[in-house]
Structure 1
C-alpha cells in the first residue's frame, strides 16, 4: 500500500505533467471509485476545469481546480488505496483493464487512474481532510505535539501511529522503521511514552520519511503499459540504470541481523498488521 513517501514522489512527478492542463472530458468507468458522488456529477463538475495545483495531504493527492476565468472550482482528492496507479500518457490506444477514471486533457493527452483491487477513491469531498492529524514533515511537528496526539491511549504505540487522526500519512512500513530508529518497542503503550521519547520518535519519523522521499526521487517513474508493473519507485524504466533502492532496517527482515546490535529481527502481528522490530535494542 502506498505510504506518504510514495505519494509525495508521485505528486512531484505529476506536477509538471498536470499543472495548467485543461480537463476536456471526464469518464468514470467504475462508480465505486467516486462514491458517494454519482459518476455523472463528478464528470460534470470536472469538465472544462483547469488543474491549478497538484499537492499532497497525508496519503491523498490533492488537485486544486479553477474555471476558465481563474475562479476556484473545488478540489479533487485521489487516494490510491492498495493498488492504485495514476499517470499521464498520450491519448488514444486501449485503456488498461482496471481503469477506474480517465481525464481527457488538452494537448492530446489523458490522465488514467487504474486500480486493480478497487480500494482507491477519487472524489470531491474535502471533509475527509479535516479528520487528519498533523503532517509529520511540517516544521511544527515535534515531540510535544506527538505526545498530545498520542494522548492517554492504552493502544500499543505501533497501532496508535497507524491512526491517520494521530499523524497523517504514516503506514505500516515507515512506522516500523521509525520506531527502530527511535529505539522504541512497538509494544509500548502509547500513553507511557514520555515527551522526550516522543521528541526522539518525531525526529526519527521525519528522518525516515525524508530519506525514503530522497531515494524515491532518484528513480524514474515509468507507467508505460506492456512493460510490466511499476511499483512506484521500487521499479525502474526498461534500459535505465539501476537506482539506489531503499534498504529497510527492520521491515520484512524477520530472522536477519539488526544493523545496529546484531540481534535477530522479529515479526509480530499487531492490529492485523505485521510489525518488525529488534527485541534487543528497541525498549
Structure 2
C-alpha cells in the first residue's frame, strides 16, 4: 500500500495541483529518503528554480518531471503528498518540502519513513534502479494475454507470489492480487504452471478490470491512504475478499478465509476459488 490505483490517483491529483509551478527552495529533514544523488544538498541545488512540467507513474512509483530532471518517488507503506500554503503549520513526520514561487508547498509526509526519492535526468530514470527492472504496466496496451502467459510460463511459484513480483507485472500489490484472483476464480496457492489457457485469459481480464475499477474509485483507503487533496479512495466499498476474513462471500455465502502466501496475508473464498 499504496498500489497502482492509489499512486495513479495521486498522480492525477498532483497534475492539477503542481504542474506549471516553479520550485523556490527544497527542505530535506530526513536525508535518508534521498537515495540519488546521495548528497541531499546537491538534491536541493539541482531542483532549485526548476518548473514542474508533468507528473507520471511507473508501477507504484510517481515520476515528477522538472526538465531536465525526473523525481522518482516511492510512497512505500505510509507515504503521502499534500499541497499547502507555506504558512500552514508543518505536520509531524513531514520529511521533504518543495516550496514554490507562488507561496504554496508540496509536502512529503511519511510516518513509517520507508519512502524513497531518486533524481535522474529524464530518460535515464527508466534505465536505472528502481524503475529499470519493472514488468509491464497492466493497464497499458502493451500488456496482453500473450505477455501475461509468457511471463507466467517462466515461473514455478504460487500464482499469488508471482503476481506480487514487480518484475512480472508492475503495480500489483496485496489488495489487488487478492481481488483479481477472486474475480478470476483462481486459488492464490495454485501453481502458475497448472493454469489453463482459459484461466490465464480470465486472470488477465480480472487484473485489468479490477485495477480499472479501483482507479475510477480513487483507490482504496483501507489504512491511511489519501490523495493529494486529502481525499479518501472509495474502492474499499467494492472489495470482495481482502480484509474480510470470516465474513460471508458476496457471491456464495461461504466465510472468507485467510492464509499466508509469499509472506503476505492472503484472503480467498474456498468455494469460489478451488
| TM-score of the pair, normalised by structure 1 | 0.87
Q: Distance between the aligned counterparts of 2:171 and 2:154, measured in 1?
A: 21
- How far did 1:191 drift? 2.2
Q: 1:232 aligns with which of 217, 226, 236?
A: 226
Q: 2:240 aligns with which of 242, 246, 249?
A: 249
Q: Distance between the aligned counterparts of 1:214 and 1:47, measured in 2?
A: 35
SS at match of 1:141: coil
> RCO greater where, 1 or 2, for CA within 8 Å and sep 6 or more?
2
SS at match of 1:130: coil
Q: Distance between the aligned counterparts of 2:226 and 2:204, measured in 1?
A: 25
State whether residues 85 and 104 of structure 2, in contact with CA within 8 Å, keep that contact through their aligned partners in structure 1. Answer: yes
Q: Distance between the aligned counterparts of 2:234 and 2:73, measured in 1?
A: 28
Q: Distance between the aligned counterparts of 2:231 and 2:15, measured in 1?
A: 20
Residue 100 (structure 1) aligns with: 95
Q: Closer, same or farther in 2 for the Cα pair 1:86/1:159, shift >3 Å? A: same
Structure 1, gaps ≥5 residues long? 67-72, 222-228
1:125-183 CA-to-partner distances (Å, cap 9, x unmatched) read 52121210000101232221111112332211001100100000000000000000000
SS at match of 1:124: strand
**Equivalent residues in 2 for 1:48-197, closer than 5 Å:** 48-66=49-67, 73-125=68-120, 126=125, 127=128, 128-197=130-199
State whether residues 258 and 266 of structure 2, in contact with CA within 8 Å, keep that contact through their aligned partners in structure 1. Answer: yes
More moved, 109-118 vs 254-263: 254-263
1:37-85 CA-to-partner distances (Å, cap 9, x unmatched) read 211111111111111110111111101112xxxxxx1200111110101
Aligned length: 264
State whether residues 25 and 47 of structure 1, in contact with CA within 8 Å, keep that contact through their aligned partners in structure 2. Answer: yes
State whether residues 214 and 235 of structure 2, in contact with CA within 8 Å, keep that contact through their aligned partners in structure 1. Answer: no
1:219-239 CA-to-partner distances (Å, cap 9, x unmatched) read 9x9xxxxxxx96326x9769x
Structure 2, gaps ≥5 residues long? none
Q: Distance between the aligned counterparts of 1:10 and 1:78, measured in 2?
A: 12
SS at match of 2:82: strand
**Equivalent residues in 2 for 1:213-228, closer than 5 Å:** 213-216=215-218
Residue 264 (structure 1) aligns with: 255
Residue 70 (structure 1) aligns with: none
Q: Distance between the aligned counterparts of 1:245 and 1:163, measured in 2?
A: 23
Q: Distance between the aligned counterparts of 1:33 and 1:189, measured in 2?
A: 37
